[in-house]
Structure 1
Amino acid sequence: MKKYIVLVFAVFLLSCESLFMKPQPENTPKSIFDQVWTFVNEKYAFFEFKNVDWKLIYNKYQTRISDNMSDEELFQVCYDMLYELKDEHTNLISKFNVSRNPEVFLDYPENYSGDLLNRNYFKGRTQIVSPFSYFDFGDVAYFRYDSFIDSISDEALDYILEKSKTKKGLILDVRNNGGGAVINIDKLASRFISDTTLLGTEFHKNGPGKNDFVEEKSEIYPAKDVETYLDKPLVILTNRGCYSATNMFAAFMKGLKNVTLIGGKTGGGGGLPTATELSNGWILRVSGSITLDRNGFNIENGIEPDMKIDMSKADMDKGKDTILEEGMKVIRQN
């Protein structure tokens, strides 16, 4: 009798498990499309800021979904729908394609040429102080940071900042730096402040409702027991290719003592991505937070420089980088 009771109880448990387990989404075109739309609807942070009616967009694109469409055709419909957000942090990733939104960078001048710099300024004589490249202009020090993906060592920054102390000023070139790890913002920016400074305020999506956000303030603390650079001019060169973490770095540095941003407006990207895996294995990520700078400005669409300068064709034909030249002029006239 006891064995029978145990057996019945075990069957009941298995039945309950089946009864209460959340059903797995189907792997059909309609289901995949709905999964994409729903995740964006619940996690995307910029509907209000960008004035996007996501329900209207669902109605616009769901008519293109059919049961017999190929994976490539389904991906293209989802790609087109996501493109409406004009957000380079929102991507659909499959084994055969990745959706992007380069529109945020279009219709802006390039404002950077590595080839021009190497041929006419550096002539192959930059020092590699990983992850930076460094060049000595005599009275002005220059260093370039290609990507916030690359880890920053104290030794590299110590070397560059120590050398810069004998110069009139320092130029940091972050043009075409597409972003990376937020921790490297702290690592770099902490060398240029003497007091704890507000980086900004982040609002993270924490629920499916349009106004479901949790607020979190972020501060950067001054570096200790390492080289710092506080009392001489620092010029930061920017262009539209400065995205994500670089955009956040530019927002933080703008307005600091002795700091001047020169070049083009940054590319934006103020939301930290959040991601999910769809039932067919595709990965979807969206901007899941909003970042305001310490003055309350939403940085999603980019940061205006202190001095807006475009590289002129006339200068480029002469082998000159207009933005770099302006940066050196500002330092030398200081």
Structure 2
Amino acid sequence: MKKKLLFAITTFILLNFNAQAQNKDVQNIVLRFLDSVQTNSYMSLNVKWDSVRPDFIEQTKNINDLKPHLTSFIKTLKDGHSSVIFLNKEEDNTEESKFAFYKLIGTTTDAEAGLPPKNFQHRILQDKYAYINIPSVALENRKFVDTIGIQLKELDAKNPKAWIIDLTENNGGNIMSMIWHFPTLIDVNHCYSYFSRTKDEKVSTRFIETSPDDIKVAQLINLEYEKVLPISIKNNNVPIVILTSQITASSGELFAAYFKGQKNVKLVGQKTTGLTSNNSPIDIGGGITINLTTSVLKDRNGKIYKIGEGIDPDIQLNIDYAKQEGKTDLTYQELSQAIKKNKQKYLDEAIKILGNDSFK
């Protein structure tokens, strides 16, 4: 009887100790989450932290509370771009754990993530215009960069009279991979910058300076600069048309921003989605990363974009997709399919513009 009682007491103590330890871990994650958002979020000044912090801490006490409460809180920022990523790994908040997000990106394939194959397309139009589609890219970055490089080399060898770069299907991902092979088509080093809520400005160049963290990330996604040198496009003093749509978003928009305002470039299509803000991944431990909106875009013309503001094309292509489909409104998926179905209209507009001296 004494042994059973002792066992019961010991078990109770151990369970209570484990529960307290788990609750302590949860509390640490919650505090890191709140501190990170309050310090870094572009929308932080809109939050009433004096009342929000104690309420959130009170409501988020065990591990099962984390995912719904963190996700719900991020939505209240209303920047339309921030998110919380749960990696399902119980990792401490260490120097190594902050790269867990990129490690996952570097080791996961599109198929494993349930993503469709990337729509790589390139060809010569009318025997003189080089067309290339730049799809979204989050995973398989090295394969993406290698494929785009091969396509650009093939097109450049044909001595094209103009470039048509298609971003109409590009809803974001890794801007570094997207822009990797395009520096020789860009005429300046300072293409755009980011403005934080404190008005600090971070200038983006054709290639971001390689800090120790940048080098580590490049290794994890198999994109070390010295091993994957950008190609040099020799036909770089010709007109360039950038095609955009309503679903061109995030890094797809930043790709357009690299070229927006360049003398030999015209953006053609529709106003982009409006995810022109910059996100920074912040590890808070427990396998949780905040992909937080920390700044907004300022283009080379000096325009500072508001939260939710898209990039206007230089030449508008008016297509009423909803009317075309016999509806008053379209879901994102329906809009995406409608844009693909109308791709030829974008190409026809680009060819028309290239043929009517619009660049002079």
TM-score range, shorter chain: 0.5 to 0.7
TM-score (norm 1): 0.63
Provide the secondary structure at the position in 1 that maps to 2:290: strand
Q: How far off its partner does 1:144 sit? A: 0.5
Could you say if the C-alpha distance between residues 277 and 320 of structure 1 is closer, same or farther in structure 2, counting changes exceeding 3 Å? closer
Structure-2 residue corresponding to 1:271 = 278
1:211 aligns with 2:198: yes
Paired residue for 1:162, among 146, 152, 157?
Answer: 157
Paired residue for 1:133, among 121, 141, 159?
Answer: 121
What one-letter code is carried by the residue in structure 1 that aligns with 2:203? K
Check whether the contact 2:245–2:269 (CA below 8 A) recurs between aligned residues: yes
Provide the secondary structure at the position in 1 that maps to 2:52: helix
Once the two structures are superposed, the pairs formed by residues 1-334 of structure 1 within 5 Å of their partners are 26-28=24-26, 32-47=29-44, 52-55=46-49, 58=52, 62=56, 65=59, 67=61, 71=64, 73-87=65-79, 89-94=81-86, 132-139=120-127, 140-148=129-137, 149=141, 150-152=144-146, 154-163=149-158, 165=160, 167=161, 169-184=162-177, 186-193=179-186, 195-203=187-195, 211=198, 213=200, 215-220=201-206, 226-267=232-273, 268-278=275-285, 280-299=286-305, 301-313=309-321, 320-321=342-343, 322-334=345-357
Cα distance in structure 2, aligned partners of 1:266 and 1:64: 40
TM-score (norm 2): 0.59
Provide the secondary structure at the position in 1 that maps to 2:238: coil
In angstroms, what is the RMSD of aligned CA positions? Answer: 3.9
Check whether the contact 2:181–2:232 (CA below 8 A) recurs between aligned residues: no
Q: How far off its partner does 1:54 sit? A: 4.7
Unaligned runs of 5+ in 2: 1-20, 89-117, 208-228, 327-337
Check whether the contact 2:181–2:230 (CA below 8 A) recurs between aligned residues: no
Could you say if the C-alpha distance between residues 151 and 286 of structure 1 is closer, same or farther in structure 2, counting changes exceeding 3 Å? same
Provide the secondary structure at the position in 2 that maps to 1:283: strand
| Deviations 1:260-304 (CA, angstroms, capped at 9, x unpaired) | 1111222324314131133x4333231234442222323453311
Cα distance in structure 1, aligned partners of 2:22 and 2:55: 24
Which is greater in Rg? 1
Could you say if the C-alpha distance between residues 315 and 289 of structure 1 is closer, same or farther in structure 2, counting changes exceeding 3 Å? closer
Could you say if the C-alpha distance between residues 224 and 141 of structure 1 is closer, same or farther in structure 2, counting changes exceeding 3 Å? closer
Provide the secondary structure at the position in 2 that maps to 1:151: helix
Q: Percent identity?
A: 22
Unaligned runs of 5+ in 1: 1-22, 97-129, 205-209
Cα distance in structure 2, aligned partners of 1:177 and 1:170: 17
Check whether the contact 1:230–1:258 (CA below 8 A) recurs between aligned residues: no
Check whether the contact 2:145–2:180 (CA below 8 A) recurs between aligned residues: no
Q: How far off its partner does 1:147 sit? A: 2.6
Could you say if the C-alpha distance between residues 315 and 74 of structure 1 is closer, same or farther in structure 2, counting changes exceeding 3 Å? closer
| Deviations 1:196-255 (CA, angstroms, capped at 9, x unpaired) | 331122357xxxxx6394x4433338x998333344332111123323322112112111
Cα distance in structure 1, aligned partners of 2:44 and 2:304: 13
| Deviations 1:60-109 (CA, angstroms, capped at 9, x unpaired) | 96398165x771x542232222112234542212357xxxxxxxxxxxxx
Check whether the contact 2:276–2:296 (CA below 8 A) recurs between aligned residues: no
| Deviations 1:143-162 (CA, angstroms, capped at 9, x unpaired) | 10113542156443222133
Could you say if the C-alpha distance between residues 66 and 138 of structure 1 is closer, same or farther in structure 2, counting changes exceeding 3 Å? closer
Provide the secondary structure at the position in 2 that maps to 1:159: helix
| Deviations 1:149-196 (CA, angstroms, capped at 9, x unpaired) | 42156443222133252x5x3321112323333434553442323x43
Check whether the contact 2:173–2:250 (CA below 8 A) recurs between aligned residues: yes
Q: How far off its partner does 1:327 sit? A: 1.9
